[in-house]
């Protein structure tokens, strides 16, 4: 069994670039717990933090020969920041999509007659601007992603996100109307 490595960060990075597993293990032992505590400040779920740290070290090993690491500590902390932001963004998007799904599900649950529901949705869409209608129709009829819709409509992805927000806001405001409607 090899002796633990106690070299400087610069030496560890140099050894890591040469695929030295002991150097990688030394980096992990030196920084994993510290990075975990840092991530926990923003991510309350222990398992999510563990996954973030695992992903960072997995990437570090995979990119060991091409990673442009000047300061190991700064590199790892920046990686944590990016992973935490990605995690929070995914959680926020997941929450928003779940809310949108519940909204449309509530409309369908309130009305057993699919034709009547589709008529109400169509009526609601008619109240929206043409480009917004076009974007949501591409989503609903062709099941396209925001990127695909943006390419098709020759606009930015952010524009499509705004269009979707307009649609969901409109239907959220109309929810009471849909819930009361008799098919």
Per-residue confidence (pLDDT) for residue 141, from 0 to 100: 81
Per-residue confidence (pLDDT) for residue 57, from 0 to 100: 93
Per-residue confidence (pLDDT) for residue 102, from 0 to 100: 62
Radius of gyration of the chain (CA): 25
Per-residue confidence (pLDDT) for residue 150, from 0 to 100: 93
Domain co-membership, 85 together with 115: no
What is the number of residues in the chain? 183
In a domain, 151, yes or no: yes
Rounded (5°) CA angle 150-82-59: 100
Cα–Cα distance measured from residue 55 to residue 83, given in angstroms and rounded to the nearest whole number: 8
Rounded (5°) CA angle 171-152-114: 35
Closest listed residue to residue 65, CA positions, set 8, 20, 4: 20
Range with the lowest mean pLDDT among 45-54, 116-125, 165-174?
116-125
In a domain, 168, yes or no: yes
Which CATH number covers residue 172? 1.10.10.10
Cα–Cα distance measured from residue 37 to residue 42, given in angstroms and rounded to the nearest whole number: 10
Percent of the chain's residues with pLDDT above 90: 28
In a domain, 38, yes or no: yes
What's the structural domain count of the chain? Answer: 2
Range of the domain at 174: 111-180
Domain co-membership, 83 together with 115: no
Q: What confidence tier does 181 reach under pLDDT thresholds 50, 70, 90?
A: very low
In a domain, 94, yes or no: no
């Amino acid at each position: 069994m090899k002796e633990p490595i106690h070299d400087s960060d610069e030496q560890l990075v140099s050894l890591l670039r040469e695929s030295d597993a002991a150097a990688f293990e030394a980096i992990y032992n030196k920084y994993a717990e510290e990075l975990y505590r840092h991530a926990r400040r923003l991510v309350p779920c222990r398992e999510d933090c563990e996954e973030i740290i695992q992903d960072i070290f997995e990437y570090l090993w995979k990119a060991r020969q091409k990673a442009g690491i000047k300061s190991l500590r700064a590199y790892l902390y920046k990686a944590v920041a990016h992973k935490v932001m990605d995690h929070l963004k995914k959680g926020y998007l997941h929450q928003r999509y779940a809310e949108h799904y519940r909204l449309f599900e509530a409309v369908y649950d309130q009305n057993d007659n699919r034709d009547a529901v589709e008529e109400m949705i169509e009526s609601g869409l008619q109240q929206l601007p043409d480009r917004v209608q076009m974007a949501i129709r591409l989503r609903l009829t062709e099941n396209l992603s925001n990127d695909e819709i943006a390419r098709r409509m020759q606009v930015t992805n952010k524009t499509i996100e705004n269009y979707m927000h307009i649609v969901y806001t409109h239907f959220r405001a109309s929810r009471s109307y849909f819930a009361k409607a008799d098919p």
